[in-house]
Amino acid sequence: MRIAFLTAPEGVEEVELTEPWKAALAAGWNPQLVSTEAGQVQAFDHLDKAGKFAVDHVLAGDTSDAFDALVLPGGVANPDALRMDERAVGFVKSFFDAGKPVAAICHAPWTLVEAEVVRGRTLTSWPSLATDIRNAGGTWVDEEVHVCRAAPGTLVTSRKPDDLDAFCATFVKEFAA
């Protein structure tokens, strides 16, 4: 299974990228780092710069065709930048249009809001996104991990880095189904 991990060039929360990446590898899948620019993405540990990671695929009007599922790591700056990029928003929306599974953690649902795919869905996130999700027609819940199977496709969401164990176990189970 080929999994797209979509991040902006700067601002992804490192642990929200690396732990799901490890879970995908452990499941025997092929994770691919997708970004809006070539080179490397700069990860953060909260507000401090952390590691850099090589980009495998640069967006250029892509759709979900080359991938089986999508993971959206958080970090405040990461989804804020992605939601301002039409290529990223279109890429995310294409997974929902195709009914492919998506997983998003922490602030990542901001990109889902921008892609207009939360209406009628129930999800969780970092608490400061609750109003944005409700205003976009979704239902926000305060849960460690939440699975929404509203058509078309499955959406796995989680609140924060402390929830990563549950997030990783759940998205692996859901993506495998």
- Residue pair 148/118 in contact (Cβ under 8 Å)? The answer is no
pLDDT of the chain, 177 residues: tens digit per residue? 999 999 999 999 999 999 999 999 999 999 999 999 999 999 999 989 999 999 999 999 889 999 999 999 999 999 999 999 999 999 999 999 999 999 999 999 999 999 999 999 999 999 999 999 999 999 999 999 999 998 889 999 999 999 999 999 999 999 999
Separation between Cα atoms, residue 9 and residue 7, nearest integer Å: 6
d(CA 99, CA 151) in angstroms, rounded, equals 7
Give how many domains the chain has, as a whole number. 1
Angle formed at CA 88 by CA 115 and CA 95, multiple of 5 degrees:
60
Is 57 known to be catalytic? no
Could you tell me the residue range of the domain that residue 165 belongs to? 2-176
Q: What is the domain-level CATH number for residue 20?
A: 3.40.50.880
- Annotated active-site residue in 57, 106, 146, 168: 106
Q: Given 46, 57, 107, 146, which residue is catalytic?
A: 107
Active-site residue, 107 included: yes
Beta-bridge partners for 69: 3
